[in-house]
Amino acid sequence: MQASGETTSPPVPVDTAASTALLAWYDAHARRLPWRRLPGEARQEPYRVWLSEVMLQQTTVAAVGPYFAKFLERWPKVQDLAAADDADVMAAWAGLGYYARARNLLACAREVARLGAFPDTEAGLRALPGLGDYTAAAVAAIAFDQRAVVVDANVERVVARLFAIHDPLPGARPAIRVATDRITPDARAGDFAQGMMDLGATVCTVKAPRCLLCPLRPHCAAFAQGAPERLPVKAAKKAKPVRKGRAFWIERAGAVLLVQREGRGMLGGMRALPDDGWSAKGDGSGVPARGEWRSGGVVRHGFTHFDLELQLMLCAAPELASLPAGEWWPVSDIEAAGLPTVFAKAARLALAER
């Protein structure tokens, strides 16, 4: 029963002109991507859709392609990934960034293996570990052809311009989602979502949008107003703090000491060089072993919420009794260790110093 004083909003009609125009454009211009089935082809396997969507979060298509191929070659089914060793998956993910995604990937794969298959509804997908609203909606629409409202950064930009939503991000996101819901069709929701992504990536771009080629131009309020490139409005970025720390290259007999970071937190579960705790304290000073140390230079690396200046310290004759627990990795094969980017940079610097 409706509570006293409440009103029920009427359903928002689907704008069929915009969705029809977008789908016709997608039929002609869809990008061929490793994880995609083109219009008219059979729906893509849920595992491939989910894997690609997790990898694509805050990462470019060009960067994801080789990783996607490598994962499928090594773990062709979700059950294979579920049975994989954590360290192997983290090493294979190295360089892709945002390493919590790799930990969530494993947790989700193991839950899907336990269930026997991916859930085929948006609500069921959202209940899986590590699947937020966007990923659940994308997999539901693309893999299962369920009607779902899929909003990534490209869709966000297209819709903000289409409806001339001038509120700054992130505050504009609820309005953008409502507007996306308005134009999402009941049929071919997966093709529509991918078409919107392609449009944002290739036509409705951040700078210099190619409006004369856009199928939504007749419907676009921002184009009518004369300045689509001004939308969406983004709040001014705050300056990121700078953390300082030290990483230690400890070498003996052609091998370097690597440690495995704790399973949670910054770069959790990854192989790495020993460090001074910068990720937790920002400016630690502990040296992990007694020996003759010298400076190897400074590595600079940007994380989402801070920038890091990491002083590299080199030691070629450590006192073995004082070393932290870890594994000796052949220096000649350091690329195969799967170090996260910041430590891979440090390793390259150390090799240059050698």
Q: Which of 41, 53, 156, 262 is an active site residue?
A: 53
Distance between CA atoms of residues 216 and 260, nearest Å: 50
Among this protein's residues, is 229 annotated catalytic? no
What would the 3-class secondary structure string for 217-255 be? HHHCHHHHHCCHHHCCCECCCCCCCEEEEEEEEEEECCE
94 in Cβ contact with 344 (< 8 Å): yes
CA 28 to the chain's CA centroid: 28
Strand ranges inside the chain, DSSP E: 242-252, 255-260, 271-272, 293-302, 307-315, 327-330
Where does residue 304 rank: exposed (0-12), middle (13-18), buried (19+ CB within 10 A)?
exposed
> For tokens 């990008």, what's the residue?
31
350 in Cβ contact with 274 (< 8 Å): no
Beta bridge partners of 243: 308
Residues carrying an active site annotation:
53
